[in-house]
Structure 1
């Protein structure tokens, strides 16, 4: 599902992944992707967008990097991404600003997004980072506007970023004597919620008109917060066991397209991880505990699944896969390769814009790779 067939193949790369996860940018399957979203940047109270890990982003030296270069040079993950773009000329790298911690826990978007000055500072600093570090655009991940006023502020912020990027593109075209044909286009996307309690605050039609595409976070449909074990990222509702499908992709897509979001701008987000449920008799049943995980409790990287002793099942009605260990009564809901391929088929059937994955360090590095299998 790469760019050659007209679909977007989008994946998040997290800058903290170079540490415990041991996932440097050299492991990214660039040839399988059209867009890499570099996560996450943050912002100051005045709206200035900033990088969050200088060592990972711009300083760490990888093989081939010299310690004797003269001048102010770029290293770190961002140098590797720029080198990858030279080898993959259609690849776009976007700076993803926000994320759960910065925008939900710390509410960093709330202040700047609420004023014209904050939005302008935010947008202008995005362009500064594009100029300085070679990004091809911006991905905004606000989790989540809490009311209609904040939904409108998100729209205004996106318009400000679009305007600033377009002005910079015009400047480059004029300076280079390219005219309109040679004018660069900077990409703008958002990570968008699957829950109606959040997307109801978004002026979706207007937002979509400003964006190149929408990364629909079609995962975390079930988890530790629920009373029953459920599917993480199912396509359809389950009529026979409604408790296992509190959300489903089909109804979310229907809501987005009915609100005026073109289907071909919707990029279907898919998980490269699974969520665990302990002491449960099966899917849709009560559970007690979530147990261990790859890096956090109850969350397993796809590359670590299925767990030893578990059998893998496909729920035809819900359009979802999971693993269950009868001996330990542990269930993990996740996408298998076969399920990922089923979603790729679904994307084509519904004329969607492509697929997105959160996040790359969870994938396998062998023939079992999900990104490889559907890109």
Structure 2
């Protein structure tokens, strides 16, 4: 209501969007009043990543699409279960946005995916997190879990496993979300991406076929950032 009132005062025609970053863990999303949220929100951005990390007992996929009942330790969470729950509880498919990571999570001293590990090691900006633009690491082999629909690399000499989304996984996820009629996808976060043909954002854009364009009404002339001061012109 506040946004609508502001729009009427400031412009009279423009609809200011209201969206949230939403959880993909059932302990959290089952507490949400999704039917009501579906009526009010323009987009629900699912944070479909950080499914496994240093808080768990076993190495796991960072952003898998599905569960793997053959290796449950590798898939404590999955994107598809969250997507289906949100839709069932009242969020229109076209308002759901699938989040994708532009980074990988590492596990050291492990024999494979879904196995115990000794630590997460260092990272690009936080222990256990590596920017996509430096992956895969030299000496590692890219592996694919066809059940969970997720990739990871493993180095047999260092016993380091890193779960991340390479270009092919972005294409698979775009195919998935288009098949369900979802509203699109988002990324966290842009500075970790590669340039050129291996850019995950670029691959997503070309795979989707079109990019939504919304008129910008941002006015923040005192911002410390040049692009914001100029209204993203």
| TM-score, L = length of structure 2 | 0.86
Q: Does 1:328 align with 2:145?
A: no
Q: What does 1:60-75 correspond to in 2, within 5 Å?
A: none
Q: Does 1:193 align with 2:23?
A: yes
Higher helix share: 1
Secondary structure class of the residue paired with 1:169: helix
Other-structure match for 1:6: none
Q: Does 1:171 align with 2:9?
A: yes
Q: Distance in 2 between matches of 1:193 and 1:328?
A: 33
Q: What does 1:335-354 correspond to in 2, within 5 Å?
A: 335-354=165-184
Other-structure match for 2:140: 310
C-alpha displacement of 1:173: 4.0
Q: What does 1:3-22 correspond to in 2, within 5 Å?
A: none
Q: Does 1:273 align with 2:106?
A: no
Q: Distance in 2 between matches of 1:253 and 1:277?
A: 27
Q: Distance in 1 between matches of 2:2 and 2:178?
A: 34
Q: Distance in 1 between matches of 2:69 and 2:46?
A: 24
Q: Distance in 2 between matches of 1:251 and 1:288?
A: 29
Q: Distance in 2 between matches of 1:172 and 1:277?
A: 51
What is the alpha-carbon root mean square deviation over aligned residues? Answer: 1.0
Deviation by residue 1:190-247 (Cα, 9 ceiling, x = unmatched): 0000111111221011012111110000000000011110000101111211110001
Q: Distance in 2 between matches of 1:238 and 1:228?
A: 14
Deviation by residue 1:304-329 (Cα, 9 ceiling, x = unmatched): 11111111111111000111111100
Say how many residue pairs are matched: 205
Deviation by residue 1:54-77 (Cα, 9 ceiling, x = unmatched): xxxxxxxxxxxxxxxxxxxxxxxx
Q: What does 1:106-255 correspond to in 2, within 5 Å?
A: 163-173=1-11, 183-255=13-85
Q: Distance in 2 between matches of 1:236 and 1:338?
A: 16
| TM-score, L = length of structure 1 | 0.54
Other-structure match for 1:260: 90
C-alpha displacement of 1:366: 2.5
Match of 1:357 among 187, 194, 205: 187
Q: Distance in 2 between matches of 1:223 and 1:273?
A: 12
C-alpha displacement of 1:367: 1.9
Structure 2: give runs of 5+ residues left out of the alignment.
Answer: 206-233
Q: Distance in 1 between matches of 2:29 and 2:65?
A: 18
Q: Distance in 1 between matches of 2:137 and 2:46?
A: 28
Secondary structure class of the residue paired with 2:175: helix
Match of 2:128 among 292, 298, 305: 298
Q: Distance in 2 between matches of 1:313 and 1:366?
A: 23
Structure 1: give runs of 5+ residues left out of the alignment.
Answer: 1-162, 175-182
